[in-house]
Structure 1
Amino acid sequence: MRKLIPSYIRVPLVFFIIAGLVEYFVESGDQPAFMEKPVVLAFLLLVLLILIAIEGIVGAMENVLYQSLDEEAKARYDAQQEAPSKLVLWFKNAYKKLVGSKPIEEEGEIILDHNYDGIKELDNNLPPWWVYSFYVTIIFGVVYMIRYHVLNADDQFAEYEIEYAEAQRAIEEYKKNAKDLVDVNTVVLLTEASDLKAGENIFVSKCAVCHKADGGGGIGPNLTDEYWILGGGIKNVFKTISEGGRSGKGMVSWKKEGLKPSEMAQVASYVLQFQGTTPAEAKAAEGEIWIDESATDQETNKETEEKTEENSSTESTEAVEVVSATEN
């Protein structure tokens, strides 16, 4: 090993292997582990120093042992070091077979009669590596033709559609579990007890000072009535928490204060739990009554569907009566 690979290749190779393993096993986010965590950088530098020290110690020991040999043993050692290893010989023989060229001593056997001003031509065969590659392309072409033109396997367009659909499914699955990807357009009302408890903790620590612990309002508005300054519902409340209140006199943007999107969704969902409750000292209503237009649209659509079904049922009954009367 030491004879085949010199130390200036061996040390960096081992070092980068260790660095790669450290990077794989240490969680560091988007940045390399040694940039995110100084202790990792210190560890890698220590490993590098140890590798260099080992190379130096082993080299020094080899030199001491060499100096202790007699002249005959030194000659044998030098001859052994100069002789190529079995692996090197194997590569050389494999290269010669793949190239397929004749040694200079045997070129007389393949020289042609052509002679152009003393320049002669050799009748070399195609290199075996080229011939084997050509055979491989023929086999590949036959397999490709059978697969795609006889058996009608999925072509590139079909494979693209399949991979695209799989990628979309993976993205949707990732979005379900990655709560911090939520924004004002995708936020939904959270009802899990764990989410509401987390929202309560955030509200008590950051919001109760202005809105009171029961949501009755103090510096901030009352959160228990139907009146909203910037709109109610999960999307409006999330946006207000994220972007802040009215310019100059509203609350700060909690997005800039370090709250994650998932935390803002939790506290927004908790805030909406105050609706309809009775605080001890309720502040006077501010803003306007907010009506959930999406819920109104859903109710309207439901009523329209019910009327349509009722009319269809009436028309069917009248048609049956007409048919019965005609038969009579």
Structure 2
Amino acid sequence: MKKLFPIYVRIPVFFTLFFLAMEFFIDSGDRPAFVKYPILILVLLMFLLVLIAIELVLNATDRVIDTLLTEEQRKAKEIEENLPFTETQFYKGLMRKLTRSRKVEEEGELLLHHNYDGIQELDNVLPPWWVYLFYATIAFSFIYLVRFHVLGHDNQKAEFDKEMAEAKIQVEEYKKTAPDLMDKEKVTLLTDAESINAGKAIFQTNCIACHKADGGGAIGPNLTDKNWINGGGIKNVFNTIMEGGRAGKGMIAWKDQIKPTEIQKVASYVLSLQGTNPAGAKEPEGEIWAEEGVVTPKDTKAPTAVDTTQTK
């Protein structure tokens, strides 16, 4: 069968495919890989030479096979090559090219001389599809070597870390416009310096009139002792700030003026004031609060007074 695509068509096609593969596997940014990495030109030239060598070897093999054909086989081949092109003919020719299979009638020419208990072996060549796949793995390994061990591109871990960093930035950008979904059930205590400082800034803007800048208490109760009117802990403090104190008394609800995530920071800052014991602090009010699982010392003094107008 005549070749559907001659060598001067196949080589540029393979060359183009290889170029596209290089551009795909190598992230060269806004410039082509050839410009950023000149070594790729050498790689492509070497690959082109290999393809030409393969084509020359295959053509030489075809000519040798033609010389070994009998006159009858040669005439049959010429007749087949001169047949009009059909899909069936193309499929048969393609499979023959991929497998280098021989007709059953020609198997006698492939028999090896050795014989084991009447079992003989055919001297078949490796299927071209397997050979081409093997060459492809070599090309891939070379590309991998150049990309990761010569050019120093990011491996999977580095790419993952970069994508996670980008995702974190996107999440932070989303939070700026996303609805605030923080509530009493989801709130957790924040301990990082950035959050505590942000909570302190909000506290100084909105809370020092009643609680003083040091949290020692003025109109409002002392926030630095262990006594709480509406319960301690992050969930209770968060809920008190958001919903306000007792109905008709004490602190207003701040949920319409401060975002829940900002209230979380304020509540975390307030809890960070525990045990600071500022000078001139108010007497404890409410009941001693201990988180679940934390034992309260027996000698802790009971509150001396309970403010009936303020909440904490």
User: When the two structures are superposed, what TM-score results if normalisation uses the length of structure 2?
Assistant: 0.37
Relative contact order (alpha carbons < 8 A, sep ≥ 6): 1 or 2 greater? Answer: 2
User: When the two structures are superposed, what TM-score results if normalisation uses the length of structure 1?
Assistant: 0.35
Q: Hey, which of these two has a bigger chunk of helix by percent?
A: 1
